[in-house]
Structure formats: structure tokens, C-alpha cells
Structure 1
Amino acid sequence: MTTSKTSESSAAAPLLDLQALVVAVRRRRRFWCTMALLGLLVGAAMAVLMPPPPTAVTKVLVTHQEDQPNDPGTLIRTDVALLGTTRIASKALQSLKSPENPEDFMRNYRGTGLTNNLLQIDVTGDSDAEAVSRAKALADAFVADHVRRMQEAAKAEAKALLDQRDRMRDELAQVNKAIGNRSPGGDPKASASIESLFARRAELNSRIADFDQRAAEARTGTPKLIAGTQIVDGPRAVQHSLPRAAVTNAAIGLVLGLVLGLALAAVGTVVADRPVLRREIAANLGASVIAELPRASLRSGRLWRRRRTRVARERLSTTLARTVRGSTEPVSLLELGCAHSTSVIALDLAEALAPDGPVVIIDGLPGPQLANSRQKPGGPTVVSGERSAAVLHEERRLGVGSVAPGTAWTDLQYLGSQTMLVVRAGHGSAAWLHTVARQLADQRIPVIGVVLIDPDPRDRTDGTLWDGLHTALRGHNEWLARQNGTGRRRTERPPMPAARVPDSDQEAR
């Protein structure tokens, strides 16, 4: 039954817990706020250290013979592409008498189609005067090239029309020669053929007149197009405001840095898989969260926070002291990611237990956390782990150790036969929390509960396990079994209560 429930719960669990992801990203706000601030500073620094080069701008009105009201902008895009050709760049460089390579010059300007007939040209240079002269040369070269292409197109069209007219005239001459001096009503036998010749002559005359008119229109329309293509906004230098550029670049850098920081924080959270919520930490350690303490309560806060800090630490000390008094065996505090916090909690707990008798703290921390701590006169005695055997049996032992990577697991039993884990939220990965729970179970050290340090203030999840005694209080049941003398094995589970059979089923049986 338990296996089926576990498989069902694991199958129903989402691949990505959005609540845990949001909480973990919010806890890393120092990281992504730093990234946002870094982006802001980099953007402002780029505006100061890398100012834009001197730039000039001009606008050209371009008319096309194929202009249509519903043109989607194909013609102006063609003009932009033609502006970026070596032919126009070479013409502009020739007018400037510059030996620069056209390919290199093309990197210093660009064209933008503002409307179907308005082209903007942006040019950079070493100075404002050079940029303005380059813009004028480019605009003149483009207008001259555009006019030349229109004239050539008009000439080609007119020549084609006149060639057609000349062919029609040759054919008309042949028709006139065939008609000669005959009239339509002369010979009745030849009247049909003569009438067809006269009709063909009339048609040729009409078509010759049409070709003449179209050729004249082609030649007449070109001056209008040429006059319409002109520079409507003369070249001028673009004024750059350093404060405005700094503010703009800083805002862009701030947004990019913030987005990058949030993305990196989210990816790092998913990859690291560090539980933050109470329910996740309790589930991975196999023990309930019995108390918690904000990280700020363990620091020397400001004047208006001291009372809140004192109240939080007194409440935690009272809760832990009540739990330790109910135990007849030594209790240890094992830290994960909060050695300093654990040493402070141990001193507060020893002070709370002092009225009941002398308390000796066994320092098993890897660093000098307890040795360098300030101890009050008449406070608890702190001894190292090597001197734990010299502690008298009348004195209450309180071991302090660590379950961080590199821990000597077999030495934890000398700190206490049962333990309370002091875990900083978001420090250990889920795999390491599983390792801690497994190692403590193998050492037969029951976990009374978990003290959560630096919990998320918006975490509303429950840190109590309700899956059954064999899951939540595995080590505690073994400890009770040893006290009662039953000697139940560690791998045994408490018997499951028999399912109650409804009365109707019993009667049916």
C-alpha cells in the first residue's frame, strides 16, 4: 500500500515546481539585482567611453515611373539596395576626391526607406564637416544615378515605340503601292481586295499615330520624374546628447542585465536543485520542521530590530529546550550551511538548560565557531570532540557538529545519540539531503526535527510530514523501541492497522 502511494505521488508530481522556482529565484535577488546594476553601469560607461561617431543625415524624395498608391514599399527597398552598391559609392568618392576603397566606404553609411518615396541617408565620418560632405556627395550621386536610369529607360522605351512606328510606315508604303491609283468603286471583281487594302491602310495610319503619341508621352514624362527626384532635407550633422545617450544606454543595460540575471538565476536553480520550501526540505530529510529562525535574527541588527531578534531567539531556545528536556539521551545539533548560526543556537540552548544543571557543549564543528564565540561568565563549558570522553555523566551533553560534505559520519554518534538538524534553506541539494538522511539512519541516530535557518518569508507550505511513522519518525521510533526494550529492528515498520470492513460487507459474507 505504501509503495503504491509513493509511486502515485511521484507520478503526479510536476516536472517543474513553479512555486519553488519562484521562491528560489526571489531568494537570489542579490544576484540578479547585481546583474541589473552591472548592466546599468556598463550601459552608462559605454555611452561615455564609446560615444557614437560624428553622423550626418539627409533625405531624398525619389519618384518612380511605376509608383502606385498600394505599393508595399518594394520600390523604395530597391532604392535602398542600390544605394549600397559600389557604383554609387565610387561616384560619391570621385566627387569627394577621396582615395578610400568603396567597400570600406559602404560600411560608413546606410539608407532607410521612411515612406514609399522618401529615402533617408545616414553617414558617419571623422568629423561633422566630413560627415556632412559625405552625405551630400552620396545624395547627389544617388539622384544623378536615379535620373540617368530614368532617362535611359525613357529613351529605350521611346526608341522601341519609334522602331515599331517605322515598321508600320514601311508596311504602309507597301499598302499604298499596292493600291496605286485605284479607287474602291473601280473594278467590281477587285473591289473586295481593294477594300481590304484601304482598311489595312486606315489601321496602319491609326497605329502609326498611336506610336507617335506614346513615344512623345514617354519623352514628356521623364522631365517630370527627374524634377520630382530631389534632396528635400539638406545634409546636416546629428547632434548627440551625452546625458541622454547615457540614460538611454543605462536603461537598456539595466533591462538586459535584469533579464539575464533572472534567466541565469532560474537556470541555476533548476540545475542545482536546492530545496527552499519547508515541505521539500522535510520530505528530503525525512523529518519535520519543528522550528525556524530568520537569518537576520542571528546578526547584530539595528536598534529597532533588536527586540524582534531577542524575541525570535528566545522562542527558538524555549522550543528546543522543551524538546531536549524530554530526552534521556544526549542530543546533538548538526548544521548544514549555517555553522555560525548553529553555534549561536547551541549557546542559547545551553543557557536555557542551565537552570536544570550543568551543560557541556561538545564542539565538533570543523571551524573555530564555538572556540572564538563570546561566552558569558558562568555560561556552559565548551570542550573539543577529543575531550568528550572526560565529560561527567551528571552533566548534560550537547554536541554540535556538521553534516556538510566531508563529514566523518562515524564520529557523529559521539556527539549525541539523537540529533536536531540545523539547515539553511537553499544551501544543500536534494541529493545531499537524501545522503544526510540515509547516513544518519545507517548510524542509528534518530532525527528529532529540523530547525530551518533563513526561511523564505512568503513560504506558506507545511513542513510537517504526515505520511506515517515509518517515514517521518523512522529514527524516533527506533529510539522508543530501544527505551521500551522491544529491540525492534531498524528495517521493521510499525504494523498497519487493519482495514475496517463495513457492516453491509460483513452481513454479505
Structure 2
Amino acid sequence: MTTSTTAQSSAPAPLVDLQVLVVAVRRRRRLWSAAALLGLLIGAAAAVLLPQPPTAVTKLLVAHQADQPNDPGTLIRTDAALLHTTRIAGTALRSLRSPEKPEDFMQDYEGLGLTNNLLQITVTGDSDAAAVARAKALADAFVADHVRRIQQAADAEAKSLLDQRDRMRHELAQVNKSIGEAPPDSGPKTSANMESLFARRAELTSRITDFGERAAEARIGTPQLIAGTQIVDAPRAVRHSLPRTAVTNATIGLVLGLVLGLVVAAVGAVVADRPVLRREIASNLGVSVIAELPRRSPRLWRRRRDRAARERLTTSLARTVRGSAEPVSLLELGCARSTGVIALDLARALAKEGPVVVVDGLPGPQLSKLRRKPEDPTVVTGERAAAVSPQEHQERRLGVGSVAPGTAWTDLRYLGTRTVLVVRAGHGSAAWLHTVARQLTDQSIPVIGVVLIDPDPRDRTDGTLWDGLGTALRGRNELQARPKGTGRHRTERLPMRAARVPDSDQEAR
């Protein structure tokens, strides 16, 4: 399967690549695992260091005059809000003979409407007995206040009805007086006035009777509401289980820490923009991935697999170096120790055919820290590399350097005129990979390929770049035949150099 480079560069890149995001978050599993573990520990420690205070709970049945089957719970929420008033809190404190301020006491309890007529009161205290006493006083204060409000409402309604009845009785007395003072003459006009007075007296009598009945009914419903408001669940102390609380808090902390860690890892991956997949690394460097080396596993049963992968990598690189007539270097990015180990293994493989000198250009004593055998090839520093003359001593030179930030780019040609990049997946940003590709091109250092260290084990992308003719760009060209009778390599055609990578999507288009 071949693809066109032009078609790939002109395709619009998504704003956020979900595959890359998932891989980047998975590679940062230490971050979100540590966040989840920290949340679990904080939750468990909070349960031990901050135990819940002694708590008492009670339930009240509250009857309302305006109860309706389709009530959405407005009345019981009003009762819960009325519970948090200084009047009820002050009444409860007076019954307890406590000098505490009502405003402070209101912070120690809460009301919750379970149903339209069931109110639950939760109170905390210094001890279980104190919490139960406070819950009892608070429930009694609420019931008394609720009953008083019902009675006041009923009395106000009855008084209003009785006042209207009294006004009508006064008006009826005036009508009766007018009827009694009417002249005995029975003229047409007098008869009409008497009929209107008698009609008015009948109407007033009917309304007076109606208002009296309504005032009586207003008082009749009050005892039912008063009897319906009562304590249905006596105050009792709530038992707290420390192990159960610790498990609950730890679970909550674990979930919150995991979510927070995943969010931080995702945001960090998007902001950092560090390529992880083979496809991205090859595209940013403009060079194909020719080999990869998995991360060294601490598990014993995987060490044989890691050793076999390292041997295959050494064999492949040795074949590449043997076929080159120019010095080859290994340039690392984010994996100095692994590059040093690869360089020593490669030098040992090449030493079977002739003397090899390893030029150490790594920052710091990376190669000197590695365990070396007496028969290992000679390792010289970059300052002593000029004293080594491969033409006179027939020694093969293998340079080891770095392309990390702060690299002296003009010194890389002294390590080797051809190079193999050893890059750790997810270490360098896309912008820095572009910089590496441009600098190597400016220094006329052809890149043979990329050795990917610690790749994602679930990465199924292709790290090979293809030109328009369907040829894989691996930096390998055909070698000219060696002349017979000579032990030296003839010059070969330079391989294709690292392609210049555009700085933006607009330049790519």
C-alpha cells in the first residue's frame, strides 16, 4: 500500500486527534495513577483525622391546610426553610437553657423534606445525648411554631368572617328599623320601597347565616391540622462506622483523583504536543522509522524478549554501518543512556571485523557510567576525537551525540557525516523535531533512519514515509561495488537527506 506525500500534506489535520490523545494519556498513567492513589489516601485520612461529630435525627409529620396531591414539594421546602430561622432556633435554645446564639445554633442542624408531609431534622452536638436533646428541642419548637401559625391563620380567617357578619347584622338592623318606620299609607311608591326593603332583609339574613357557618368551619378544620403535625420518629443518635466511612471517602477520593489526573494528563498532552505515534514522529522528522526498541521491562519473564529485540537492533544497525563508506553517528533525543548502550553493543559487533573507536559526544559522562568489559572498543571524548586518524590506523569511527536543546549543531559532523536518530517516543515536541530536521539538513548530514525507543505497544501506525513513486524513504541507496584487492570502501552516493518540514499547515498546502 503506497500513499502520496503530497496528498498526506494537503489533507486537513484534525484539531484534536483522539488516537494521539488516548495514547498520550495512557503513557502518562503514572500521573493519573498517582493522582488517584493520592485521592484515595486523602479520603481515607480524612475519615480518620476528621471524624463525623455526634449526630441525632428525627422525623416530623407536617400537615398543611393547602395540601394537594399534585404539590411539587413547595410547602415542605418552605417548612425546611422556616426551620432555619432565629425564632425557632431561639425557642429551642431557651428550652435547653443554652447560652448559645441562635445564629451559631443554625449551623449545627439542617432540615430535609423527604415527602410532601415528612420532614427530617438532623442535628449535631458535643455528644450523642446532647445531639438527641437538641433534636428533641428543635422538633418541639417547630411543631409549636407550626401549630401557632395554623391557629393564627384560622383565627384571622374566622375574625374576618365574623367582622363581615357583624357589619351585615348592623345593616340588617337598619333595614328592620326602616321597615318599622314606614308610614301606614299604602301608595304605589310606598309599596315598592317596602318590597325592596323586605328583599334586602332576606338577603342580609341569608348572608349572615352563611358567614357564621364559614367562621365555624374555619375553626373546625384547625384541630385536624394540629393533630396531624407531630413527631413520628423520636430523636435518636446516628451510629457512624469508621471503616464504612473510610471506604466511602476513599472511594470518592479515588474517583475524584482519577478524574482530575486524567483531565490534567489530557490537557498536558494537548498543550505539550509531543508526538508519540510512529506516523507522527516520522512525519515531523521527515525520516522513516527503521527500528524500535521497547522499554526495558522489570519483569523477569520479559527480559529474554528485550534481549532478543536489542540483538536484532544491533544486527540491523551493524549491517547499515558496514555498508557505509562514511563515518556514522548515533544522535539521541531523550534517551542518552539507551543510546550509549546501543552504541557499545554496535561497537562490539563491529569490533569482530576490525578496530572500532567510539567518539563520546553525549552531554555528561554517559558512556563512562556504563559497565564495560576489558575487550570493549576504545571510547574517546569529543576533544580527543581529532587525535584519532581512521585513515592511518584503519579504525572505524562510531560517533555518539545528542540533538537535545543546547546542541552545538556545527560539531555534529565531527561525530559522523551520516547519522541514525535515536528518539524516545513522547519526549520531544513537534516544534523541536522540526528544528532537528532543519538543522541536520543545513549541516548536510543525511539521516539514515530513526530508531524509536519506548514506543507505544498498541501503536499500529506506519512509520514509513513514501515518495510519489511508492518507494520507502529509509535513507538507503545502492552501494557501488568494491574494487577487488582493496579492503577499503569506495565512495557511495549520498542517501536522501532529511526532508525539510514545513513550519505550518499553510506552508504545507
- Output the TM-score relative to the length of structure 1: 0.89
Q: What SS does the corresponding residue of 2:325 show, helix, strand or coil?
A: coil
Q: What SS does the corresponding residue of 2:35 show, helix, strand or coil?
A: helix
The structural deviation recorded for 1:434 is 1.1
For the aligned residue pairs, the C-alpha RMSD in angstroms reads: 2.8
Paired residue total: 483
The structural deviation recorded for 1:304 is 2.1
The amino acid of 1:355's aligned partner reads K
The amino acid of 2:264's aligned partner reads L
Confirm whether residue 230 of structure 1 aligns to residue 230 of structure 2.
Answer: yes
CA distance 1:264–1:490, shift in 2 (3 Å): closer
Confirm whether residue 370 of structure 1 aligns to residue 367 of structure 2.
Answer: yes
Deviations 1:460-485 (A, max 9, x none): 1111112459x9969879x99x9578
Q: Which residue of 1 aligns with 2:452?
A: 452
The amino acid of 1:158's aligned partner reads A
Deviations 1:157-183 (A, max 9, x none): 111000000111111112222222889
Q: Distance in 2 between matches of 1:490 and 1:256?
A: 46
Question: After alignment, is 142-151 or 242-251 more displaced?
Answer: 142-151
The amino acid of 1:229's aligned partner reads T
Deviations 1:263-319 (A, max 9, x none): 00001111111110011111111111000000116xxx4442232122111111111
Query: Is residue 444–residue 475 contact of structure 1 (8 Å, CA) maintained in 2?
Result: no
The structural deviation recorded for 1:193 is 2.8
- Output the TM-score relative to the length of structure 2: 0.89
Query: Is residue 290–residue 474 contact of structure 2 (8 Å, CA) maintained in 1?
Result: no
Q: Which residue of 1 aligns with 2:485?
A: none
Q: Distance in 1 between matches of 2:358 and 2:492?
A: 28
CA distance 1:208–1:490, shift in 2 (3 Å): closer
The structural deviation recorded for 1:360 is 1.2
The amino acid of 2:131's aligned partner reads A
Q: Which residue of 2 aligns with 1:350?
A: 347
Query: Is residue 5–residue 466 contact of structure 2 (8 Å, CA) maintained in 1?
Result: no
Q: What SS does the corresponding residue of 1:263 show, helix, strand or coil?
A: helix
Confirm whether residue 388 of structure 1 aligns to residue 377 of structure 2.
Answer: no
Q: Which residue of 1 aligns with 2:430?
A: 430
Q: What SS does the corresponding residue of 1:190 show, helix, strand or coil?
A: helix
Query: Is residue 161–residue 214 contact of structure 2 (8 Å, CA) maintained in 1?
Result: yes
Question: After alignment, is 8-17 or 128-137 more displaced?
Answer: 8-17
Deviations 1:421-441 (A, max 9, x none): 000000111111111111111
The amino acid of 1:79's aligned partner reads D
Q: Distance in 1 between matches of 2:251 and 2:203?
A: 74
Query: Is residue 286–residue 472 contact of structure 1 (8 Å, CA) maintained in 2?
Result: no
The amino acid of 2:427's aligned partner reads H
CA distance 1:5–1:423, shift in 2 (3 Å): closer
Q: Which residue of 2 aligns with 1:315?
A: 312
Q: Which residue of 1 aligns with 2:507?
A: none
CA distance 1:308–1:172, shift in 2 (3 Å): same
Deviations 1:168-210 (A, max 9, x none): 1111112222222889996665333322222221111111111
Q: What SS does the corresponding residue of 1:79 show, helix, strand or coil?
A: helix
Q: Gaps (5+ residues) in structure 2?
A: 481-489, 501-509
Q: Distance in 2 between matches of 1:184 and 1:135?
A: 76
Identity over aligned pairs, percent: 79
Q: Which residue of 2 aligns with 1:41?
A: 41
Q: Distance in 1 between matches of 2:6 and 2:20?
A: 21
Q: What SS does the corresponding residue of 2:458 show, helix, strand or coil?
A: coil
Q: Which residue of 1 aligns with 2:332?
A: 335
Query: Is residue 287–residue 499 contact of structure 2 (8 Å, CA) maintained in 1?
Result: no
Runs ≥4 in structure 1, deviation > 4 angstroms?
A: 4-8, 181-189, 471-477, 482-486, 488-492
Q: What SS does the corresponding residue of 1:386 show, helix, strand or coil?
A: coil
Query: Is residue 273–residue 430 contact of structure 2 (8 Å, CA) maintained in 1?
Result: yes
Q: What SS does the corresponding residue of 1:12 show, helix, strand or coil?
A: coil
